[in-house]
Structure 1
Amino acid sequence: MIEEIRINDLGVISEATLPLGPGFTVVTGETGAGKTMVVTALGMLLGNRADAGAVRHGAKQAVAEASLRLPAQSVVIQRAEEAGALVEEDDDVAELIIARFLSAAGRSRAAVGGRSAPVGLLAELGHDLVAVHGQSDQLRLTSASAQRGALDNFAGEPARLARDEYAETYGRYRQVQSERAELLAASRERLREAESLQLALEEIDAVDPQSGEDETLKASAAKLANVEALRTAAATAHAALTGSDYAEERGASALIEEAKQQLQSVQDDDAELVTLSRRLEELGYIINDVATEISSYETSLDSEGPEELAALEARRADLGRLIRKYAPTIDDVLVWADEARKRLDELQDDSGRLEALEAEEQELRDRLHGLAERLSECRQDAAAELDRRVTGELAALAMPDARFVTEVTDLEDFGPHGSNEIRMLLQPHTGSAPRPLGKGASGGELSRVMLAIEVVLAEVDPVPTFVFDEVDAGVGGKAAVEIGKRLAMLARHVQVIVVTHLPQVAAFADRHIRVIKNAGAAAEATGGVTASDVVALEDAERVRELARMLAGQEESDTAQAHAEELLHNAQQAVSAWA
C-alpha cells in the first residue's frame, strides 16, 4: 500500500504531504482547490505522461514522491530490486520510495529506491500496484488478458487447476509442433547430408585405415628408399666384426679372441690377468651376437625389393587422400568416421522420429480439447455468477436498469489460454445492446461500474491500492450512501483512495484529507499566486468539512448535526460488517 504521498510545486499545491494508510481515505475540497492534483501526482508516480503546464507557476520543477509498504515477496518489490533499487526489509515487509520529477521545460525523470530509473519502470510497477478509476481514465480490466485473468481468478480453484494443467500441456504441444515442423522443413537438407556422410564412410571403410598406420608406413618407406645404403653399411659392419671371407683380414671377433688367448697363457703368473681375460671373453660373446643380428638384418634387406616399396607408396597415397579430405591424421580420420556414423544413424532415424512426434502431437491435441472444455465450463459458470453479483451492485449504485454481461465465446481452435474469448460488456439501459466497458456509459457511470466489479472481485483479484476520482459524479442521496458503503466494503481488502464532493461518501472513510485553497492575504504572501494546503482532519474538523459539503455552511449547527448523523450512521454500518 501507499503510506504517504509528498507533493511539491504541482498545480496550485506548493508543498503538501498526504498521510495515507490501510483502509479508506477520502480527499475533499472546494472546486478548484486542487483535489485533482492529488490524482495527477498519482498519475505521475504511475509513469503517466506529464504536462509541463502542471508545474506550479514560477517553480523550476514539480515533484511527486510516495512511500510504499508491501510484502517483501511482492512482484513490485522484486521488479524494483532487479532494477537496482534500494529496499528496506523488516519481517517480510519491504519499504520502497518512488519519485517523479517534472521540469518547467517539460523534461521528466524518475527515481526508484533512491536510484535513477526510466519512467517506464514506474509504469511497470504501477501496473501491479495501483488501479485508477477516474472520469476519463479507467486503467483496470480494459484489456482482454486482464478480463480473462479476473474471470479465472473469480472462478476459483477448479479453474486454476484446469488452467495450469492446460498451460503445461499447451507448452509441450507447441514444442512438439515446432520440432516436427523443423524436421519436415529440413528433411531435404538432412537427406543430402546423409548421402554425403554415407559416401564418405564407404570411402573410409574401403581403405580400412588402422590407428597410427600413416606414421608406421612413413618409417617403412624411408627404410625401403635407402635399402642399398643400409645393406652396404650392414655388410661392412659384419665384415669388421667377423672378417672377410675373400681376404686374409681378420675381424674384431678374431682379434679379441687372440687377445684373450695371450692373457690366458700367462694368467698363472698374475691373478689380475684372470679378470681381464674373462672380460675379453664376455666381449667376444657380445660381438658375436651383434654380428649375428647384423647378418640377419642384411638378409632381410635382401628379401625386400622395389615392388614392396611401390605397394607401400600406393597404400600411403590412399591414406593421404583420406587425410586431405577428413582430418589431419589417420587417428583423427577414425574419430571423424565414428562421429559421422552416429550422425548418420540420427539422420536415418528421422522417419521414426517424425512418426513418434506426429502421434504425440495428436495425443496432446486430444488432451487439450478435454482440458479446454473443462476450463470453458468453469468460466461459463463463473461468468453467470459474476454477472449476477455485479448487476446487483449496479442496481444499488443508482444504475437499476444496467446489466453486466461477461461473454465467454468459443474459438475455432485453442490458444495459449484455452479456447475462449472473454469480453466484459455493459448494457446501460433496458433494450440497448451490451457494449465493451468504456463504450456504453458516461465517465461517472463507468466509475460506478468499475466500483461494482472491484467490490465483487476484491477477495480474489485485488491490487494493493485503488484510486477513484469522483466515482459519485451525477448521483446523490441514497445512491451516494450506497457508493460510500461499497467503497468501505472494498477497503476491507485493499487500500482505497477516493476524491469526492459527496458527504455521504466521505462519511464512510477511515481518514479524511481536505485540500484548502489559500486566497486573499495568503495569496498575496505567495506573490499573488493561489496556493493550496493539504490537511488531515480530526473528528471535529471532519464534522465541519462534512457540514460544508452538505450545506456550504460549516458553522451551521443544523448542518453540523446532519454531518454528525452521517458519520454515526456510516460508522454503525461499518461496525456491522466487522
Structure 2
Amino acid sequence: MLAEMRIQGLGVIDDATLELDPGLTVLTGETGAGKTMVVTGLNLLGGGRAEASRVSEGAGRAVVEGRFVAGPAALALAEEVGAESDEGELIAVRTVSADGRSRAHLGGRSVPIGVLGRLAEASLAVHGQNDQLRLLRQADQRALLDRYAGDAVAGPLQAYRAVRAEWLKVAGELVERRDGARRLAQEADMLRHGVAEIEAVAPQPGEDRDLVQEARRLAAADDLREAAAAARAVLAGADDAADAMDAPGAVGLVGQARHRIAAAGDPELTALDPRLGEALAVLDDVAAELTGYLDRLDADPERLATVLSRQAELKSLTRKYAADSDGVIAWAADARSRLDNLDTSDEALAALAARRDELAAELAGHAAALTAARTEAAGRLAAETTAELAGLAMRDASLTVGVAPRAAAPEAVDAGEAIVVDGAPRLAGGSGTDEVELRLTPHAGATPQPLHKGASGGELSRVMLALEVALADADPVPTMVFDEVDAGIGGRAGVEIGRRLARLARSHQVVVVTHLAQVAAYADRHLVVHKAGSGGVTRSSVRTLDEGERVVELARMLAGLDDTSSGRAHAEELLTTAASDKRSATAAPKARRRR
C-alpha cells in the first residue's frame, strides 16, 4: 500500500505531504484548491506522462515522492533493478523539470520511467474520468471480465496464447512459402522459356563477331573488287592493254630492269640480278593472290540477306540475356543448372499446411474453453453488478455482459488470420475469439444499450464503481484511487457510493477525491486541500482533519458555506449514519464470492 506521498512544485501545490492509512481515505477541498494535482502526482508516481506545464510557476522542477509498503511483486521488482528496500518499504521518486525532462528513482537508484509503471501495476490503480472513457472500449471490457473470472480464464488464455504463437509462426511460414513457391514457379517458367528460345536459335561461340565481318565484306563487295583489281593491275599490268609494253606493271618493269642489266655485261650490275629475281618472285606471288581474291569475291545478295537475318536472331537474344553470343550460351548453361536445383514441389507446403491445421484445431479447443469460461463469468459479473447498481439508486437498472464470437470471412482461415470454432470461422486475436460488450438497461422497459450509447455521466460513474466492487476479490492491486467517481451524482446515490467505497476499503487501501459530503462521511481518514493567496499567487497545502474539523468540512460541502447550524447538524447526521453502516458491515461481513 501507499503509506505516504509528498508533492513539491506541482501546479498550485507548493509543498504538501499526504499521510495515508489502510482503509478509506478521502480528499476534499474547494474548487481550484488542487485536488486534481494530487491525482496528477499519483499518476506521475505510477509512471504516467509528464508535462512541463504542470510544474509550478517559478519552480525549477516538480517532485513527487511515495513511500510504499511493498508486497512480494514490488520487492521482486526492486531486486531486479537493484533498488534498496528498508524493512519492506520502497521509496519511489518522480521529478519533472520546467523544460519537460523527467527522471525516476526507486530505492535510491535511478531507473527508467517504465519501472515506476511496473511498480504501479503491482501496487497502485488510479481510476479517473479517463478510466470511465476506457470502460466504453470493448477491449477494456473484455480485460475487465477476464480480471473478474480470475484463474478460470487465465489458464485457458495462457494455453491459447502459447498455441496461438506457434500457429501464427507456422501459418506465416506457410504463407511465405506459398508466395515463394509462386515466385519460384514464375522463375522456372522464365528460365524454361529462355532456354527454349536460345536453343531454337542455337548460337555458336564467336558467331556474332564472325557474322559482323562477313556482312561487312558482302555489303562492300564492289568496292573491294575495284581495290583488288587496281592493286593487281599495278603489279601485273592492265588486263585490257594491247601490248604488255604499254602497261607492263611492276612485274614487267622488274623484268625489263633485269634484261638491261644483263645486256650491259658489267659484273657489278650483274651482281644485282639475284635480288631483282627475289623481288620479282614476291611480286608474282602477291599478284597471284590478288587474282585468287578477285576470283573468290563474287557479289552474293542472298548470302548477305541470310547473314543479316542471322544477326537479327542473335541480337534478339543479346538484348535479353547477355551482351554477345558467348554470354547468351553461358546464360543458357546457368539457367539449365538453376532449373535442376529449383524445388517447386508441393510436399513441403503440404506438411506445413497439415501442421497449421493441427495447431488450428488445438487452438480452437482452447478458444472454446476460453469462451465457455468467459460466458460463465459474464453471467455472475452481470448479476453482481446489477445488484450493486440497485444499491446505487439505480434499482431498476441492469447490466448484461455479452460474450459473442468475432466472425471472420472463410478466406481468412486459409490466410492464417482465423480458425474454425464450432464449424464457423472466427478471428483469432491475442485474447481469444470473443467480443465482450457491456450493455446497460438504465430503467425498466428500456432497451439494453452499449455503455457508450446508453449511460449518462452519472450512470457511468456508478457502473464503474459497481464493477470495481464486484471485482474487489479478484483485483490484486492493494491501493485503489478514485478521482471523482461520484461525478454527476448527489443525494441518496452519494450515500450508497460511500457505503460501497467503505466496503471496498475492507480489502484494499482506497483513496477517493470527492465533492460529495455523503461520500466523505465514510472516510477512515479525511484529508483536505486548502488554498491560500499571497502576493497574487495561490498556493495549496494538504492536512488531515480531526473529528471536529470533519464536521465543519462536511457542512461546507453540504451548504456551500463555512459554517451553518443546519449544515453542521446534517454533517453530524451523515457521520453518525456512516459510522453505524461501517460497524454493521464489519459485524456481518459479506459472504465470500464463489470463484
Fold-level match, TM-score > 0.5? Answer: yes
Within a 5 Å distance, the mapping from 1:180-329 to structure 2 comes to 180-186=174-180
Could you list the runs of 5+ residues in structure 1 that have no partner in the other structure?
194-345
- 8 Å Cα contact 1:69/1:95 also seen in 2: yes
Within a 5 Å distance, the mapping from 1:361-380 to structure 2 comes to 361-380=356-375
Aligned match for 1:150, one of 136, 144, 149: 144
Deviations 1:434-473 (A, max 9, x none): 5554554344432222111111111113433322222223
Aligned match for 1:159, one of 153, 162, 167: 153
Correspondence 1:111 to 2:86: no
Compute the displacement of 1:182 (Å). Answer: 4.8
Report the secondary structure of 2:73's partner residue.
Answer: coil
Match of 2:40 in 1: 40
Compute the displacement of 1:367 (Å). Answer: 3.0
Compute the displacement of 1:185 (Å). Answer: 4.6
Compute the displacement of 1:407 (Å). Answer: 2.4
Compute the displacement of 1:32 (Å). Answer: 3.2
Pick closer, same or farther for the CA change 1:494–1:347 going to 2, 3 Å.
Answer: farther
Counterpart Cα distance in 2 of 1:53 and 1:400: 44
* Identity across matched positions, percent: 45
Counterpart Cα distance in 1 of 2:506 and 2:584: 13
Counterpart Cα distance in 1 of 2:14 and 2:43: 18
Letter of the structure 1 residue corresponding to residue 553 of structure 2 = E
Counterpart Cα distance in 1 of 2:474 and 2:66: 26
Correspondence 1:56 to 2:74: no
Report the secondary structure of 1:530's partner residue.
Answer: strand
Report the secondary structure of 1:73's partner residue.
Answer: helix
Correspondence 1:507 to 2:521: yes
Aligned match for 1:571, one of 556, 569, 582: 582
Counterpart Cα distance in 1 of 2:461 and 2:547: 29
Counterpart Cα distance in 2 of 1:138 and 1:81: 34
Pick closer, same or farther for the CA change 1:464–1:100 going to 2, 3 Å.
Answer: farther
- 8 Å Cα contact 1:85/1:112 also seen in 2: no
Compute the displacement of 1:352 (Å). Answer: 5.4
Compute the displacement of 1:494 (Å). Answer: 2.2
Compute the displacement of 1:364 (Å). Answer: 2.8
Give the number of aligned pairs.
416
Match of 1:23 in 2: 23
Letter of the structure 1 residue corresponding to residue 528 of structure 2 = R
Deviations 1:72-91 (A, max 9, x none): 334x963x666x4623164x
Report the secondary structure of 1:424's partner residue.
Answer: strand
Pick closer, same or farther for the CA change 1:431–1:364 going to 2, 3 Å.
Answer: same
Compute the displacement of 1:485 (Å). Answer: 1.0
- 8 Å Cα contact 2:63/2:93 also seen in 1: no
Correspondence 1:98 to 2:93: yes
Match of 1:72 in 2: 72
Greater CA drift, 423-432 or 480-489? 423-432
Correspondence 1:391 to 2:370: no
- 8 Å Cα contact 2:167/2:356 also seen in 1: yes
Compute the displacement of 1:539 (Å). Answer: 3.4
Letter of the structure 1 residue corresponding to residue 3 of structure 2 = E
Greater CA drift, 126-135 or 487-496? 126-135
- 8 Å Cα contact 1:12/1:34 also seen in 2: yes
Counterpart Cα distance in 1 of 2:536 and 2:100: 27
Counterpart Cα distance in 1 of 2:152 and 2:354: 29
Pick closer, same or farther for the CA change 1:37–1:361 going to 2, 3 Å.
Answer: closer
Counterpart Cα distance in 2 of 1:190 and 1:54: 60
Compute the displacement of 1:507 (Å). Answer: 2.1
Counterpart Cα distance in 2 of 1:32 and 1:533: 12
Counterpart Cα distance in 2 of 1:436 and 1:110: 41
Counterpart Cα distance in 2 of 1:170 and 1:467: 36
Compute the displacement of 1:180 (Å). Answer: 3.8
Report the secondary structure of 1:95's partner residue.
Answer: strand
Deviations 1:375-405 (A, max 9, x none): 2122222212212221222222123454323
Correspondence 1:170 to 2:164: yes
Deviations 1:144-163 (A, max 9, x none): 44432332342344433333
Within a 5 Å distance, the mapping from 1:525-564 to structure 2 comes to 526-551=534-559, 552=561, 554=563, 556=565, 558-559=569-570, 561-564=572-575
Counterpart Cα distance in 2 of 1:31 and 1:464: 29
Could you list the runs of 5+ residues in structure 2 that have no partner in the other structure?
189-340, 408-425, 590-595
Compute the displacement of 1:572 (Å). Answer: 1.8
Greater CA drift, 46-55 or 362-371? 46-55
Counterpart Cα distance in 2 of 1:41 and 1:387: 34
- 8 Å Cα contact 1:183/1:350 also seen in 2: no
Pick closer, same or farther for the CA change 1:131–1:19 going to 2, 3 Å.
Answer: same
Normalised by the length of structure 1, the TM-score is: 0.62
Letter of the structure 1 residue corresponding to residue 391 of structure 2 = A
- 8 Å Cα contact 1:135/1:443 also seen in 2: no
Normalised by the length of structure 2, the TM-score is: 0.61
Match of 1:88 in 2: 85
RMSD (Å) for aligned C-alpha atoms: 3.7
Letter of the structure 2 residue corresponding to residue 495 of structure 1 = Q
Counterpart Cα distance in 2 of 1:181 and 1:98: 49
Counterpart Cα distance in 2 of 1:102 and 1:438: 38
Aligned match for 1:409, one of 400, 404, 411: 404
- 8 Å Cα contact 1:133/1:139 also seen in 2: no
